[in-house]
Amino acid sequence: MTMPRTRSFVQVDVFSTAPYRGNPVAVVLDGTDLTDEDMQRLARWTNLSETTFVLPPSMPEADYLLRIFTPQGELPFAGHPTLGSARAWLDGGGIPRHADRIVQECAAGLVTVRRGDDRLAFAAPPRVRDGALDDAYLDRIVAAFGITRERVLAHQWVDNGPGWAVIRLATAKEVLDLEPDLSLIPTAMVGAIGAHPEGSEHHFEMRTFAPGAGVPEDPACGSMNAGVGQWLTSTGAAPSSYRVSQGARVGRAASIEIAADPDGTVWVSGAAVVCIRGSITI
């Protein structure tokens, strides 16, 4: 076990401009010399969907290396921790190699984070799995969600590391009305998306369920929205720019913006606000 010492520690609220209505991430700004066991122990203790650790990069193009842990294990990539950790690093005095962007190294590779006036945006990494879900898995999801297959407009693997799959329902209300029995899909990483009425502030409602990572329902999920954004914008099922609301069923009010460049790069953006600054002994 690592000898305890005091390190800078922050918590960042991501994807909401209203205080404490987004998705928090805990960030240890100096993860040097911590073991995997140390990191996992803290992630279980914070009991947030993710806890991250900032380390010196191993790639010359990167500004820092990020390791991302859920209460149950490490992820190669995750969205809201990417934005929250970038904000924490900047807030802690980090100076990127390029004024307009940060380059994060993680197990999934290099991820570019673009800096705006009050928002950050990450470039969606490539999916490691796509295509339609197989019938057996779709049947399990439908049973867990308590719906029939006829209500599923489309379905897709949108996995950029965590293992995400998604189903598309006709309306946001159908998504919000879901009462999933996650005991039927205990290892799943799955979401549901449905459209809000035309003229609404947001185009879609998203919910993401991650029992496989020890998170029954994630308040706001950047990696899921990244993969879904690549899917929907590339197929014409969504415009090149749209907004997603998430978290209503768990008392949050997240707002996530998706924008696809002409070259197909999908950017996921949102607010990221440091809410807690201090130190932690690990």
Cα 202 to Cα 214: distance, rounded to the nearest angstrom? 28
- Using a 10 angstrom Cβ sphere, with 0-12 exposed, 13-18 middle and 19 or more buried, the burial of residue 253 is middle
Q: Is 46 helix (H, G, I), strand (E, B) or coil?
A: helix
CA distances from 183 to 94, 140, 141, 221, 236 (A): 43, 11, 11, 21, 34
Q: Cα(183)–Cα(30) distance, rounded to whole angstroms?
A: 37
Nearest-angstrom CA–CA distance, 52 and 15:
17
Residue whose tokens read 């696809």:
260
| Class of residue 233 by CB neighbours under 10 A (exposed 0-12, middle 13-18, buried 19+) | buried
Closest alpha carbon to 64 in 100, 13, 106, 35:
106
Cα gap 220→224, rounded to integer Å: 9
Other C-beta atoms within 10 Å of 40: how many? 18
Catalytic residue annotation: 50
Q: What is the DSSP string of 96-155?
A: -SBTTEEEEEETTEEEEEEE-SS-EEEEPPPPSB-SPPPHHHHHHHHHHHT--GGG--EE
